Amino acid sequence: MTPAARVQTSIELLDAIIESARSKGAPADRILAEWFRNNRFAGSKDRRAIRELVFSAIRACGPVPESGRAAMLRLAEVDDSILPLFDGSNYGPDSVRDDEVAADGGVAPEWLARLLEKSDIGEAEADALLGRAPLDLRVNTLKADRATISLPTEAVKTDAPHGLRLEPGTHVEQWPEWREGKIEVQDTGSQLACLAVDAQPGETVIDLCAGGGGKTLALAAAMDNLGKLVASDTDRNRLSRLAPRAERAGATNIETRLLDPKREMEALADLGGQADAVLIDAPCSGTGTWRRNPEARWRLDEGELARLTSLQAEIFDLATNLVKPGGRLVFVTCSLLDEEGADQFEAFLSRHQEFSAQEVTLPVGRPRGNGIRLTPYHDGTDGFFIARAARSC
Ligand SMILES: C[S@@+](CC[C@H](N)C(=O)[O-])C[C@H]1O[C@@H](n2cnc3c(N)ncnc32)[C@H](O)[C@@H]1O
């Protein structure tokens, strides 16, 4: 494909992605994968270039653009190589008309940009939020050790005790070390969130919103497979991914429980007041993960944010039934909005006087309210809020 044809194809793909973001349809990744499957004439270089163009254009537009062409013209404002390709050539984009306007830039749609600013996410933080994420690994201490593991490419140590960092795009899933469960792909921020749980061998620990079990596996390793580790979630699909992962990782103390939304306690009744630690890795807007998923900015709206914050409060209240006196509750969101972080935790503490905030010490991060905030700019991790509370009685 010519460079101009790649730009035109990216414009058409962006049209589909914009439409899908508006109707909450398939994500950009799936739309691209399907196009690549159906258009075999596009070779690997074309695919790489188109992917790069599409995601750079998504990153360059704060609000949802009017069209793929407006999005590409916005990218042309920050990348000089693009505009000359609007040359009207065969398969290329038409020349730019005098009255054409580019889509708006910025970090996010205006309402969301305002909330980020209110949460003290300044320009440098916002820029880093739209950068490229590295590929972080956690060495699984049930099977290996960071000090001695040998990998096919060079990896640098991260701030997490078992963390390693690789070039993005490394296909670790093809490595024997991955197939043998010696390494897991996990962002440093996620690894540090697990560290805040301080799960010990022999304890009863509940990973209440376990999803596919990324954090559950780290907790199993911290517990050295000793004690009871319950992984629960309301999403059957996500939870079903945990068993094969646990098998590969050699994690043997995990029990999964599928929860019924609004009746979660039914499947957890026997654990009432039993847990030494409960991790709430709460469903959230994911504003801290835009490096991996920049299109998420176009899918969030005020109604969805309100739904998420009230669900977080409900899950908090649910979790209080599970923690035993003297036990701890760890609240985590991959969001940089105070509504889903410091404010949510503060509101929880004022609703539940039997809990008090406990200091969390992590190698990176800065205090935010009664917890810690990690950001891509400051800490090189995804954005996270992490806080811990102890139950007195
Ligand atoms: C941030 S994700 C969890 C990611 C996971 N802990 C990991 O490390 O891979 C939040 C999860 O909360 C789950 N969830 C939503 N509502 C819930 C509820 N009422 N009770 C428990 N889990 C819930 C979602 O299905 C989703 O899997």
Residue 382 assigned to a binding site: no
Digit-coded pLDDT (tens) for 152-185 = 999 999 999 999 999 988 999 999 999 999 999 9
Record the pTM.
Answer: 0.94
Residue 317 assigned to a binding site: no
253 and 384 share one domain = yes
| Ligand 1 environment, Cβ below 6 A | 190, 208-212, 214-215, 233-235, 238, 259, 261, 264, 281, 283, 311, 315
ipTM of model? 0.99
Q: Is residue 115 part of a domain?
A: no
Q: Is residue 10 part of a domain?
A: yes
Residue nearest atom 18 of ligand 1, based on CA coordinates = 234
23 and 37 share one domain = yes
Residue 281 assigned to a binding site: yes
Which atom in ligand 1 lies closest to the alpha carbon of residue 332? 1
Give me the number of domains the chain comprises.
3
179 and 259 share one domain = no
Which atom in ligand 1 lies closest to the alpha carbon of residue 212? 9
Q: Is residue 125 part of a domain?
A: no
Q: Go through 138-150 and write b for each residue having 16 or more CB atoms within 10 A of its CB, e for each that does not.
A: bbbbbbbebeebe
What value, to the nearest 5°, has the Cα angle with vertex 180 and ends 186 and 168?
35
**Span from the CA of 107 to the centroid of ligand 1 (angstroms):** 26
Q: Is residue 155 part of a domain?
A: yes
Domain stop point among 125, 152, 185: 185
214 and 326 share one domain = yes
Q: Go through 222-246 and write b for each residue having 16 or more CB atoms within 10 A of its CB, e for each that does not.
A: bbeeebbbbbbbbbeeebeebeebb
**Span from the CA of 330 to the centroid of ligand 1 (angstroms):** 14
Mutation pick for ligand 1 pocket among 234, 245, 322 (CB with most ligand atoms within 8 Å): 234
List phi, psi (to 5°) of 17: -70, -40
354 and 275 share one domain = yes
Question: Residues 286-299: what's their mean pLDDT?
Answer: 95
| Per-residue pLDDT, 393 | 78
User: Which CATH number do you get for residue 285?
Assistant: 3.40.50.150
Question: Residues 75-99: what's their mean pLDDT?
Answer: 94
Query: Three-state secondary structure along 342-378?
Result: HHHHHHHHHHCCCEEEECCCCCCCEEECCEEEECHHH
Mutation pick for ligand 1 pocket among 233, 236, 280 (CB with most ligand atoms within 8 Å): 233
377 and 245 share one domain = yes
Domain stop point among 84, 105, 126: 105
Helix (H, G, I), strand (E, B) or coil at 250: coil
156 and 245 share one domain = no
**Segment among 67-71, 87-91, 284-288 with least mean pLDDT:** 87-91
According to DSSP, the β-strands at 204-207 and 183-185 are unpaired
**Span from the CA of 84 to the centroid of ligand 1 (angstroms):** 46
324 and 260 share one domain = yes
Q: Is residue 111 part of a domain?
A: no
Digit-coded pLDDT (tens) for 103-143 = 999 999 999 999 999 999 999 999 999 998 999 999 999 99
| Per-residue pLDDT, 123 | 92
356 and 370 share one domain = yes
| Per-residue pLDDT, 58 | 97
User: Which CATH number do you get for residue 174?
Assistant: 3.30.70.1170
CB 222, CB 196: distance < 8 Å: no
CA distance 110 to 287: 14
To the query of whether residue 334 is one of the catalytic residues in this protein, the response is: yes
Q: Is residue 123 part of a domain?
A: no
159 and 244 share one domain = no
342 and 359 share one domain = yes
Q: Is residue 211 part of a domain?
A: yes
**Span from the CA of 212 to the centroid of ligand 1 (angstroms):** 9
Domain stop point among 185, 205, 226: 185
**Span from the CA of 382 to the centroid of ligand 1 (angstroms):** 17
| Average pLDDT of every residue of the chain | 97
Question: Residues 14-19: what's their mean pLDDT?
Answer: 97
Question: Residues 185-199: what's their mean pLDDT?
Answer: 98
Question: Residues 37-65: what's their mean pLDDT?
Answer: 96
Question: Residues 302-310: what's their mean pLDDT?
Answer: 97
Which residue segment(s) compose the domain that 378 sits in? 190-391
Residue nearest atom 7 of ligand 1, based on CA coordinates = 214
Q: Is residue 98 part of a domain?
A: yes
List phi, psi (to 5°) of 369: 55, -130
| Per-residue pLDDT, 169 | 85
180 and 214 share one domain = no
Confidence of residue 223 (pLDDT cuts 50, 70, 90): very high
